[in-house]
Amino acid sequence: MKTILLTLLITVSTQSALAATLSAPQSNDPSSVVATVEVTDVTAQYPEFRVQETHFENLAQAGATLTAVDVIVDKVINIGTKVWNVLEKGRATYNYQNQQANALPQGARRWNQLQNWRQPTSKVYSVTGKNVFGYEILRFDYRVILLAGGDVGGVGRYIGYATVHPMEVNIPYLTNFDVGVRVDSVYNTGTARNPVAGMVMNISIRATSVVPLMPIRELGHSLVLDGNGNIRTM
């Protein structure tokens, strides 16, 4: 009887300890926690970007019907997508290639109403999370694609197309990895007579482990794009 009672006490104590561990605060193991986040331009590490004709077709015919009378050139608006997901659980979403933001003069209905677009430009950024020992825990590389420079009868420089394409994902085992894009604001960085569109693009990155003791990692950052074709981190 004593042996049975002792066995029951040990079993109950073990289960209580396990339950307390699982409900305890997130692990303090410094090797599993992101201590620093770096955003680095790694464009040179990737092959040269090629324009996809399906994205930028009919550039030569753009702007035939739009004049400065039809729009307010110094008021910049985004008639494209404002929020979209690029990755869900580490995989590209089915429609991410069709999601893009723009910064056009108020009154424009589509980007190819403008003319004189430059060739699209792009940059590739690498977001890495490192622990306190300097070891890389996770990495996400993505390409920003920008079509810029369009004008209305020679006035202004606007953004016709800005989007994000995932390139490479390296995350820990048993980790859900989500990436979203949000364009909170577009604006005029120039003057009323010579407007230059600007855009703030926020990249939100969330890594969530399915293991309860592992922490959630938030790796968001922002980019600034403009109608002159510049892309830079804030």
Rounded Cα distance between 177 and 28, Å, is 21
Encode pLDDT of 10-25 as tens digits.
Answer: 233 333 332 332 233 3
8 Å CB contact between 123 and 46 = no
pLDDT of residue 2: 42
The CA distance from 162 to 120, in Å, is: 10
Helix (H) or strand (E) holding 70: none
* Whether the Cβ atoms of residue 114 and residue 35 lie closer than 8 Å to each other: no
Structure confidence at residue 113 (pLDDT): 92
Please report the sign of the dihedral spanned by the C-alpha atoms of residue 96, residue 39, residue 212, residue 174.
positive
Q: According to the 3-state scheme, what is the secondary structure of 129-163?
A: EECCCCCEEEEEEEEEEEEEEEEECCEEEEEEEEE
**Which one is predicted more confidently, 94 or 62?**
94
User: Are the CB atoms for 43 and 144 separated by under 8 Å?
Assistant: no
Examine the pLDDT at 8 and tell me if it is beyond 80: no
Q: For residue 31, give the 3-state DSSP assignment.
A: helix
Name residues whose C-beta falls within 8 Å of residue 16's C-beta, 6 or more positions apart in sequence.
none
Give residue 1's pLDDT: 47
Quick: pLDDT tens for 18-50.
233 223 334 456 566 666 889 999 999 998 877
Q: Where are the domains of the chain?
A: 29-233
Please say if the pLDDT value at position 93 is more than 80: yes
Q: Would the pLDDT of 7 be above 90?
A: no
pTM: predicted TM-score of the whole model, two decimal places: 0.80
Mean pLDDT of 116-126: 95
Q: Report how far residue 77's alpha carbon sits from residue 94's, in angstroms, rounded to the nearest whole number.
A: 27
Do 182 and 209 meet the contact criterion of CB atoms below 8 Å apart? no
Dist. CA 129–CA 149, nearest whole Å? 35
In the predicted model, what is the mean pLDDT of the chain?
Answer: 81
Q: Are 125 and 117 in contact (CB under 8 A)?
A: no
Q: What is the pLDDT of residues 165-208, one digit of tens each?
A: 999 999 877 788 899 999 999 999 999 999 999 999 999 998 88
The C-alpha angle with vertex 160 and arms to 157 and 161, in degrees rounded to 5, equals 135
Residues 137/84, Cβ–Cβ less than 8 Å: no
pLDDT of residue 22: 28
Q: CB-based burial of residue 36 (10 Å sphere; 0-12 exposed, 13-18 middle, 19+ buried)?
A: exposed
Q: Which residue has the tokens 């077709």?
A: 57
Phi-psi label, residue 29: left if phi above 0, alpha if psi -120 to 50, beta otherwise: beta
**What's residue 21's pLDDT?**
29
